[in-house]
Chains A and B, each alone.
Chain A
Amino acid sequence: MNNSKKDWTDQLPELLEGYTEAEPEGLWDAVRSAMEPERRRVKGAWWFALGAAAAAAVAAIIFIRSAAPSEEVSIASGDLVAEVVAEPETPIIAEETASQEQEKEEQPSEEPEAPIAQEEIVSDVVLEETAPQEPVLEEVIPEKKEPAPEEKIEPAPEKTVIELKKSRRQVPRIQVGVSRTGYLAQAAVSTTSGVGIPSFAVTKADGTTAPGLSMLSRNKTSTTEGTHTQSARLSLTLRVNLTSRWGIETGLVSSTLDSRFSTTVGNSLSETTRSIDYLGIPVYITYNLLEWKSLGLYLCGGPMYEFSVGTSTESRTYIGGTLTGSDVDNSPINDRQLSLNAAAGVQLKLFRRGALFLQGGGSYHFANDDSPESFYTERPFSPNLTVGYRFLF
Chain B
Amino acid sequence: MSERELLELIRSGDPSGMRMFYDRYAGYLTAVCSRYVVDRSAVKDILQEAFIKIFKGLDSFEYRGEGSIKAWTGRIVVNDSLKYLKGSSRIEFIDEIPDSPEEEEEEVMPAIPPSVLQEMIKQLPDGYRTVFNLFVFEKKPHKEIAVLLGIKENSSASQYFRARALLAKNIKDYWKEHEQQ
Bound together: yes
The interface of chain A, by Cβ under 8 A from chain B, is 5-13, 15-16, 18-24, 26-28, 30-32, 34-36, 192, 198, 200-201, 204-206, 210-213, 215-216, 222, 224, 226, 259, 261, 263, 265, 270, 272, 274, 311, 313, 315, 317, 319, 322, 324-325, 327, 329, 331-335, 369-373
Q: In the complex, which residues 69-112 of chain B have their Cβ closer than 8 Å to any Cβ of chain A?
A: 72, 75-76, 79, 82-83, 86-87, 89, 95, 97, 102-109, 112
Q: Which residues of B contact A32 (CB under 8 A)?
A: 18
- A373 vs B83: C-alpha distance when bound (angstroms): 19
**Cβ–Cβ contact B83 & A331, under 8 A:** yes
The interface of chain B, by Cβ under 8 A from chain A, is 18-19, 22, 26-31, 34-35, 40-41, 43-44, 47-48, 51-52, 55-56, 62, 64, 68, 72, 75-76, 79, 82-83, 86-87, 89, 95, 97, 102-109, 112, 114-115, 117-118, 136-137, 139-144, 146-148, 150-154, 157-158, 160-161, 164, 168
Q: Which residues of A contact B103 (CB under 8 A)?
A: 212
Q: Which residues of A contact B164 (CB under 8 A)?
A: 9
**Cβ–Cβ contact B106 & A211, under 8 A:** no
**Cβ–Cβ contact A21 & B83, under 8 A:** no
Question: What is the CB-to-nearest-CB distance from B13 to chain A, in angstroms, rounded to a whole number?
Answer: 15
**Cβ–Cβ contact B47 & A27, under 8 A:** yes
Q: Which residues of A contact B136 (CB under 8 A)?
A: 9-10, 12-13
6 A-B pairs with least C-beta separation:
A20-B27, A333-B150, A24-B44, A331-B86, A201-B157, A224-B143
Given contacts A9-B136, A30-B44, contact A332 B86 (CB under 8 A): yes
Question: What is the CB-to-nearest-CB distance from B55 to chain A, in angstroms, rounded to a whole number?
Answer: 8
**Cβ–Cβ contact B48 & A31, under 8 A:** yes
Residue of B nearest to A225 (CB): B143
Q: Which residues of B contact A216 (CB under 8 A)?
A: 105, 107
- A377 vs B18: C-alpha distance when bound (angstroms): 47
